[in-house]
């Protein structure tokens, strides 16, 4: 009976035709199922688009960064809630360093950090020099807590500092390290004084250099409770110390660059550079840290060989998609992209002046000479209309306008310790 039934089926079906029909029918079912967002096969949407000849483009922001949609509504809601929590918190933003290229970096700091967290209080600690007049660009900052612009003097070198620190690879020797450490810890003192005056404590401290150019906002994910956040790369044997974010306890340890040196001396640390001393501070005080990529780079006028040697310094083009995590950068026409970057970075020692370059996020300048002609247009094109306008405003300041801007900042500031605005502005503008 079974044999008879099988022969009957065979007589009525052309099996060759059936095999021809199965693939298109299967494809039709697959496409109809994958078009439903609630179906498990929806994860094959990318394959579906390829089959249909569709091209999926990743949207980008004004700086060229890919803007990926959140995986689901729950995660997006989580970041919004985290941002709202930070906006209710007390945040101190500490800026340290000289203002050499502040007309490029300052407006980006205002937009990507201070305006992104308008509840944050700005603290500025910087030496007086011919570029200090550029700090008048901070008049647009939402809140100014304290400003200290001081006339630099040599820092006394103690025996413990001479044992713990090394002059190697520091442009100004151990004195250069001490001046930098004094800037950082001096900003912490400004914060502590302000807390005492107003009888409260900050929840978070963001410490960054004034020569950092930001091409995307500071994301809420970079505030990590109980851990101090640092950028990866540019470690020079220790930890990248060009930016740090932490709560009050971890930040107090991280910013105590001078006062913790005797502890490092007692623990037996010797011949440390800035980055290794920074790591020793955190580990000695048992402060946990985490490295995350951040969208900023350090704008530098220094000259570096190209291509860089194993322990050389790669200089990123400001147009790089980043995030560059504090790598040295300048506005330039990139001379090295794609595979060229991979070849250069493969020759660098990862524990020194290395930065992440994956997925085409890094382009390199030939920085062996001065900034190239036309760099202003290159910067304006990358930075966008708003920051380009601020750059031009900084370059066209008159003495009177500069003084007026500083007077406005002074009136808005909680604490002000600086020479008269006429002196700050006159040092740079009268010499032009």
pLDDT tens digits along 285-302: 999 999 999 999 999 999
Please tell me the predicted confidence (pLDDT) of residue 49. 33
What local confidence, expressed as pLDDT, does residue 85 receive? 96
Domain total of the chain = 1
pLDDT at 169: 80
CA gap 409, 133 in Å, rounded: 12
| Tens digits of residue pLDDT in 338-351 | 999 999 999 999 99
For the whole model, what pTM was predicted? 0.82
Residue 402, domain member (yes or no): yes
Classify residue 383: in a domain, yes or no: no
DSSP 229-263: EE-SS--TTS---SEEEEEHHHHHHHH-TTTTHHH
Here the CATH number for the domain that contains residue 242 is 3.90.550
Domain extent at residue 110? 90-295+396-427
Strands (E), 29-174: 91-96, 121-127, 144-150
Predicted local confidence at residue 275, as pLDDT: 97
Hey, what are 146's tokens? 């304290």
Spans of the chain below 50 pLDDT: 1-72, 432
Is residue 36 domain-resident? Answer: no
45 part of a folded domain: no
Bridge pairing between strands 327-330 and 243-247: unpaired
- Domain-located, residue 194: yes
pLDDT at 75: 59
Predicted pLDDT at 322: 83
Provide the pLDDT for residue 74: 55
Give domain status of residue 415, yes or no.
Answer: yes
Express each pLDDT in 254-263 by its tens digit.
Answer: 999 999 999 9
Distance separating alpha carbons of residues 245 and 224, to the nearest angstrom: 8
Q: How far apart are CA 236 and CA 349, in angstroms?
A: 9
pLDDT tens across 56-108, in order?
Answer: 333 343 333 333 344 445 557 888 999 999 999 999 999 999 999 999 999 99
Q: Quick one: pLDDT at residue 76? A: 75
User: In the numeric block, which tokens belong to residue 100?
Assistant: 């050499």
């Amino acid at each position: 009976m079974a044999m008879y039934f099988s022969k009957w089926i065979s007589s009525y079906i052309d099996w060759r035709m059936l095999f021809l029909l199965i693939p298109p029918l299967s494809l039709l079912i697959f496409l109809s199922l994958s078009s439903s967002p609630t179906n498990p096969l929806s994860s094959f949407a990318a394959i579906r688009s390829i089959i249909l000849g569709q091209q999926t483009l990743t949207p980008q922001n004004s700086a060229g960064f890919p803007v990926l949609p959140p995986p689901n509504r729950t995660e997006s809601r989580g970041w919004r809630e985290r941002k709202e929590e930070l906006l209710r918190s007390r945040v101190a933003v500490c800026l340290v360093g000289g203002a050499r290229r502040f007309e490029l970096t300052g407006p980006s700091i205002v937009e990507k950090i201070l305006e992104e967290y308008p509840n944050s209080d700005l603290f500025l600690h910087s030496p007086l020099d011919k570029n200090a007049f550029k700090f008048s660009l901070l008049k647009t900052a939402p809140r100014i807590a304290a400003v200290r612009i001081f006339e630099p003097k040599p820092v006394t070198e103690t025996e413990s500092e001479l044992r713990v620190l090394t002059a190697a690879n520091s442009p100004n020797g151990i004195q250069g390290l001490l001046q930098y450490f004094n800037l950082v810890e001096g900003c912490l003192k400004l914060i502590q004084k302000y807390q005492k005056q107003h009888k409260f404590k900050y929840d978070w401290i963001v410490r960054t250099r004034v020569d950092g150019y930001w091409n995307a906002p500071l994301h809420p994910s970079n505030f990590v409770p109980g851990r101090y956040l640092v950028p990866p790369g540019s470690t020079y044997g220790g930890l990248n110390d060009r930016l740090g974010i932490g709560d009050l306890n971890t930040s107090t340890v991280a910013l105590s660059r001078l006062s913790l040196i005797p502890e490092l001396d007692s623990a037996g640390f010797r011949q440390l550079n800035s980055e290794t001393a920074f790591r020793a501070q955190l580990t000695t005080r048992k402060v946990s840290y985490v490295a995350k990529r951040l969208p900023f780079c350090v704008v530098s006028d220094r000259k570096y060989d190209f291509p860089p040697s194993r322990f050389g310094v790669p200089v990123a083009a400001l147009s790089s998609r980043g995030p560059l995590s504090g790598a040295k950068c300048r506005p330039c026409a990139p001379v090295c992209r794609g595979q060229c970057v991979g070849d250069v970075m493969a020759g660098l020692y990862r524990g020194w002046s290395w930065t992440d370059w994956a997925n085409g996020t890094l382009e390199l300048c030939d920085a062996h000479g001065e900034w190239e002609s036309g760099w202003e247009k290159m910067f304006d094109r990358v930075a966008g209309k708003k920051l380009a306008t601020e750059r031009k405003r900084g370059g066209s300041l008159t003495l009177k306008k500069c003084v007026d801007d500083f007077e406005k900042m002074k009136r808005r500031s909680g604490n002000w310790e600086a020479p008269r605005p006429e002196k700050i502005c006159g040092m740079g503008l009268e010499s032009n």
